[in-house]
Amino acid sequence: FLGLTRRPSRRGALVIKAGLAMYDLFTAARRLMPTHRFRGRAETLKTWPAINPAIRNSATYYDAWVSRPERLGLEMLLEAMASAANARALNYAQVSSTGDGLAITDTLTGEELPVRAQLVINATGGWIDLTNKAIGAAAQRMMGGTKGSHLIVDNAELFDALGGHMVYYENEDGRICILFPYLGKVLIGSTDIRVDDPDKVRCEEDEQHYILQSLAFVFPSIKITENQIVFRFAGVRPLPASEDSFTSRIPRDHFCEFVEASRHLPATLCMIGGKWTTFRSFGALAADMALKRLGLARSKGTQDMAIGGGRDFPADPDAWCASFAAEHGLPVERAHTLLQRYGTSARDFASHPAGEQMLPQSDYSASEIGRIIEREQVECLADLFLRRTTIAISGGLSFDLVNAVLDMLAAHKGWGASETATERSTFLALLAGRHGIDLQTHQRSALCV
């Protein structure tokens, strides 16, 4: 806290209290939530009885939470394309240098499209250095990304013990970890490990052990079994290049840097850092710098712009759902589910002519999945289960569900039996290798029973 050491260490109540007090002070002018609250040992144990009895203090504060980043990311792309006739979002596109310009290659078909640009914006996160190399940008190393691995756990005792709170805590090595209720399960993380190849990151066994060990430090009486881990995943933090031996000391803010034009390449604006909770300010920063470089003026601000399902979001969700359910002939519970998933864009999903036939072992309907396949650039099962919905990350996958959705996707794509079988095996291998889910083993076990 005083800068006397660079080594991660336990912070103590005084430092945490001082930090939260400054947080309250700096946000006072635009405060929407209550200020922080500090608790002693007795009150902490009364609030969370299962927490480690050796605890001395706890503090509560309010922060942002993005519950469905998959939908938010997609809605931003759809909004951008709708806002300008010449805007495009290209899925499975790879950019490269041709020697006298740039080219975009469709990695599914091999088709190549030459591109002439006035300015390139490199917003590829942990892949920034790799992208600069691919396009021939003469840039020094900018990225020092670290891997963060997480577990999704289905344990009712742990879920109840949290009491609806997200818990930030220090592990015994001083690293900050988190756990919080997530779509009926509990998300636990994370690690902070340097990575060289962001395409190969996954949650390794030693990371899973570390995460569960950290949980035992906070809730020692709650035991997590192997079969309660329903999903595991890893992401890459797009942190700036740093020689600091402790990854936790690398700054988590964001900034932009220009790589000046070369003979065959225009100037490139690289977006370094950032996270979901700062995406609007980071996007505005990059846009303002790009507009200035191009000699253009901003025509519209986005600070208060509603995105996708956030547009006309109801102040009274219960009343909205009751009206929505009556209008479409749905149960009120179903209306609430659609509002939570899609915001006010739920109207598009409820009005599909295929009706509300539910998919096997799922709370998703065939009409929902059909609309996503038709309108959201779905090219494979991973797109749908990992990047358009929360089905996989919330532990909702089953062999029957995968097969039912694959039949829909195959029909839409016009795949034959061979292509369909290849897609199934590719997706199942991805689940097992990257996310610790072996649906084939589960299916065989069910058949044996």
pLDDT in tens, 73-95: 999 999 999 988 899 999 999 99
Q: Which residues contact 234 (CB under 8 A, 6 or more apart)?
A: 147, 148, 149, 150, 201, 202, 203, 207
How large is the average pLDDT for residues 319-337? 95
Section 291-314 average pLDDT = 93
Task: Tell me the C-alpha distance between 137 and 97, whole Å.
Answer: 9
pTM summary value: 0.90
Average pLDDT, integer, range 92-114: 94
Report the mean per-residue pLDDT for the chain.
90
Domain range 352-448, CATH architecture = Orthogonal Bundle (1.10)
Q: Lowest mean pLDDT of 129-138, 269-278, 353-362, 388-397, name the range.
A: 353-362
pLDDT of residue 9: 53
Mean pLDDT of 321-340: 95
What's the mean pLDDT in 224-249?
A: 87
DSSP letter (8 states) at residue 383:
I
Calculate ∠ Cα 33-38-39, nearest 5°.
130
**What pLDDT sits at residue 260?**
94
Amino acid 448: pLDDT: 42
Give the C-alpha separation, 136 to 152, whole Å: 40
The encoded tokens of residue 191 equal 């690690």
Instruction: Give span(s): CATH 1.10.8, the chain.
Output: 352-448
Return the half-sphere exposure (C-beta side, CA atoms, 13 A cut-off) of residue 396: 19
Query: Of all helices (H) and strands (E), which one includes residue 121?
Result: strand 120-122
Confidence of residue 446 (pLDDT cuts 50, 70, 90): very low
Task: Give the dihedral sign, CA 381/386/390/396.
Answer: positive
Which residues, at least 6 apart from 306, have a Cβ–Cβ distance to it below 8 Å?
A: 312, 313
> Residue 421 has what pLDDT?
98
**What mean pLDDT do residues 417-435 have?**
97
Say if strands 254-259 and 167-170 run parallel, antiparallel, or are unpaired. unpaired
Confidence at residue 327, expressed as pLDDT on a 0 to 100 scale: 93
Structure tokens at 156: 């009712």
Identify the pLDDT of residue 353.
57
Using alpha carbons only, what angle is made at residue 73 by residues 373 and 259, rounded to the nearest 5 degrees? 125
In this predicted structure, the answer to whether residue 7 has a pLDDT above a threshold of 80 is no
Contacts of 325 (CB under 8 A, 6+ apart): 331, 332, 334, 335
pLDDT on residue 66: 84
- What is the pLDDT averaged over residues 54-82? 90
